[in-house]
Amino acid sequence: MNWPPRKRWFGLILISIITFITPLASSMFAPGIEFVENDLGFHSVVTAGLVVSIYILGYAFAPLIVAPLSEIVGRVPVYNITNVLYVIFTICCGLSNSVGMLIAFRFLAGCLGSTPLVLGGGSIADTTPPAQRAGIMSLWAMGPLLGPVVGPIAGGFLAARVGWRWVFYVIAIAAGVVTIAGFFFLHETYHPIILEKRAAKLRKETGDQAYQSRLKQPGTVKQIFLRAIIRPMKLLFLSPICAIFSVYMAVIYGYLYLIFTTISPIYIGQYHWAQDVAGLSFLGIGIGMFAGLFTFGFMAKKIQASHAGEEHKPEWRLPPMIPGGFAIPVGLFLYGWTAEKNVFWLVPLIGTGLVGFGLIMIFVNSAQYMSMVTPADDRIDACQHILGRHLLDICGLGYGC
């Protein structure tokens, strides 16, 4: 929190860039899947869908390991090691000579690519006071939303001109540059790890074993690891607000990839766009996201100005989600209905733009809200007690029972 702004912002910008690159890879070669089918000798819709979507499956599994590891060894070692492995597996995707190899390496790349999404919000919370998080949180949150939108636009032209393998090589080059920069400019932000290193240094210099970190977690490495795995489950099942936000985000993020898997076939088959040009159909979502980003910034400033002098509250992040909540169903209806009726090509894009607008309004605000209301890591027992009380309160039981 006391770092100079330059040191803090440089690290957070690097994290935001890699958070943009890894989701970019999730859909970048989707428009060129036909070239992959012809080259590797398979012609199955199911297999083609698996090649694209297996990457996102990696996003689901890796956080169970990545998040606990960051609490044991710190955030920076996890960032650096997973970034290196991500570059290696992405190169292996480009070198694959069978569909089995491609699926396997895509899954592994997805697992390693989930790290900035898992730890990014924590890094921001480590270094930025709540009242100042809006800007950097919105920049970071653009990655998992805008990356999959920009990917197909560039990937369609790249696959058509130089081949689908270069889609992976370009991603590996970009991720490699950020990985090298990370070894020099990323600094540890996790408070318990920083304090423990300081205590260890003092013990070594003075020989006085009384120097101990105030934030040191009790128990062995195994116990800390297991506790870190169990904690998200406690929050998910014992905290109603965490459960609601998690399910809501899962549903609308699923809508985003639902659009990704349908928009290219619609514009190629129904509107007769060329294979490479079809990637431009993703611009609707991207423009909507930028509109949502500016709207979010405007509303956040207005809300903060209306509460000048008051202590910052998590609930201030909720009002901007209301227009986003309305925009998504309206956009989905407009996109699906007009595409089915073969209305002028611009109208479905307006529908996807409304979806993009709603996604950014909900994603950024919910991420900030959750980072502010989640209990501290070293309060496991108290956390369980508080969450249990909230569960009783919401059922109308309270402590009286």
Taking a C-beta distance cutoff of 8 angstroms, is the pair 37, 121 a contact?
A: no
The pTM assigned to this predicted structure is 0.77
Residues 15, 47 share a domain:
yes
Residues 259, 135 share a domain:
no
Q: Which amino acid is at 290?
A: F
290: left (phi over 0), alpha (psi -120 to 50) or beta: alpha
Q: Residues 228, 234, 236, 242: what is their CA dihedral angle, to the nearest 10 degrees?
A: -100
Residues 231, 84 share a domain:
no
Residues 264, 248 share a domain:
yes
- Among 216, 232, 261, the domain-final residue is 216
217: left (phi over 0), alpha (psi -120 to 50) or beta: beta
Residue 313, domain extent: 218-401
Count of the separate structural domains present in the chain: 2
Tell me how many degrees the CA angle 264-270-271 measures, rounded to the nearest 5.
Answer: 80
Residues 247, 382 share a domain:
yes
Residues 149, 130 share a domain:
yes
Here the tokens at position 176 are: 């490699």
CA terminus-to-terminus distance, the chain: 42
Q: The domain spanning residue 98 has which CATH number?
A: 1.20.1250.20
Here the tokens at position 401 are: 């029972």
Predicted local distance difference test score (pLDDT) of residue 390: 42
Q: Max alpha carbon distance in the chain (Å)?
A: 78
- Among 149, 184, 216, the domain-final residue is 216
How does 345-357 read in b/e, with b if 16+ C-beta sit within 10 Å? beebbebbbbbbb
Residues 119, 190 share a domain:
yes
Residues 369, 237 share a domain:
yes
Predicted local distance difference test score (pLDDT) of residue 375: 54
In sequence order, which ranges of 274-320 are alpha helices (DSSP H)?
283-306
Residues 193, 68 share a domain:
yes
Predicted local distance difference test score (pLDDT) of residue 374: 63
Residues 226, 180 share a domain:
no
Task: Evaluate the CA torsion angle 299, 303, 309, 310 in order and state its sign.
Answer: negative
Residues 146, 101 share a domain:
yes
Residues 263, 115 share a domain:
no
Q: Which of 246, 263, 262, 235 is nearest to 362 (CA)?
A: 246
Predicted local distance difference test score (pLDDT) of residue 79: 94
DSSP 8-class letter at 132: G
Residue 19: C-alpha distances to residues 45, 142, 171 (Å)? 29, 8, 12
**Tens digit of each residue's pLDDT, the chain (401 residues):** 888 888 888 888 889 899 989 888 887 877 777 788 888 888 777 787 788 878 888 888 888 888 888 888 889 999 999 999 999 999 999 999 988 999 999 999 999 999 998 888 888 888 888 777 767 777 787 777 778 778 888 887 888 788 889 999 999 999 999 999 999 989 999 888 888 888 888 888 888 888 887 877 777 777 877 887 788 788 888 888 888 888 898 888 888 878 877 887 888 888 888 877 877 888 888 899 888 888 887 887 788 778 777 777 778 888 889 999 999 999 999 999 999 998 999 999 999 999 999 998 898 888 778 767 765 443 334 334 433 344 334 333 333 33
